[in-house]
Amino acid sequence: MQRLTRGCRRRYTPSESCQVLRFHHMETLYYSTWQSPIGSLTLVASDRGLVALEFRPELRRKSKATWLYSDDKLAPYRRELEKYFAGELRHFTMPLDLRGTEFQMRCWQALLKIPYGETRTYAEQARAIGQPKAFRAVGMANHDNPIAIVVPCHRVIASDGKLGGYGGGLPLKQKLLDLERGQGTLGSARRVNARPPPRRNRPR
């Protein structure tokens, strides 16, 4: 039996109709650019929680979604980060909407268990997820971590004590570790003066 989907010119089968409805109910992602004490950060959130925290001002829009600029929607996440940079917050309570493969999610959950002010090696993180020989794959999963700082990949270092890699650069990684060891703060944050214009992906 065929059904006529509202707003469409041809008839669709029931399964096709479901696909059209999903397409028109596209997810909305909110974003905001913020001039933090460590430089420009872009925050992205869904209705479920924080999706991304990026060091780049431009967004890597991999998700098929409608994108809306909203300082208000990202304000609760920004407030927690401000307290963290000021040395006033050790545990984030913001909701997270992590998205990745099953292996990546296990790696990122292991990162969330590393206490503030402590570090782990890539090998120790691999053992923590039950795959002691997968330390290189763990390093790649950390590299792909979409929510920097909050999901603390900066707390993972090489077995020889060197910093290893970091998407925000090694000087920043060292500053974050120093902050968590009680060696100063990163100062006050301020908003970007001019926000970028809203951009949306519209169904065609």
DSSP annotation string for the chain: --EEPTT-SSEE-HHHHHHHHHHHT--EEEEEEEEETTEEEEEEE-SSSEEEEESSSS----S-SEEEE-HHHHHHHHHHHHHHHTT--SS----B-----HHHHHHHHHHHTSPTT--EEHHHHHHHTT-TT-HHHHHHHHHT-SBTTTS-GGGEE-TTS-----TT-HHHHHHHHHHHTTS------EE-SSPPPP--PPP-
Region(s) of the chain under CATH 3.30.160.70: 9-92
What is the location of CATH 1.10.10.10 in the chain? Answer: 102-180
Identify the band that residue 57 occupies on the pLDDT scale cut at 50, 70 and 90. Answer: low
pLDDT beyond 70 at 154: yes
Q: Is the predicted pLDDT of residue 115 greater than 60, yes or no?
A: yes
Name the residue among 104, 84, 192 with its Cα closest to residue 145: 104
pLDDT at 186: 78
Tokens, residue 23 = 């397409």
* 43 — pLDDT class (breaks 50, 70, 90): very high
One-letter amino acid identity for 94?
Answer: M
Domain 9-92 - what CATH class?
Answer: alpha beta
Q: What DSSP letter does each residue of 129-154 carry, written as one string?
A: TT-TT-HHHHHHHHHT-SBTTTS-GG
pLDDT band per the 50, 70, 90 thresholds, residue 102? very high
For residue range 116-142, list pLDDT tens digits in order: 999 999 999 999 999 999 999 999 999
**Which CATH number is 102-180 given?**
1.10.10.10
pLDDT score of 85 more than 90: yes
Under 8 Å between Cβ of 121 and 156: yes
Active site residue 107: no
**Dist CA 24 CA 5 (whole Å):** 12
pLDDT at 193: 35
Query: Greater confidence, 23 or 30?
Result: 30
179-198 pLDDT per residue, tens: 999 987 776 544 443 344 44
Where does the pLDDT of residue 59 fall: very low under 50, low under 70, confident under 90, or very high at 90 and above?
low
Per DSSP bridges, beta strands 11-12 and 3-4 are antiparallel
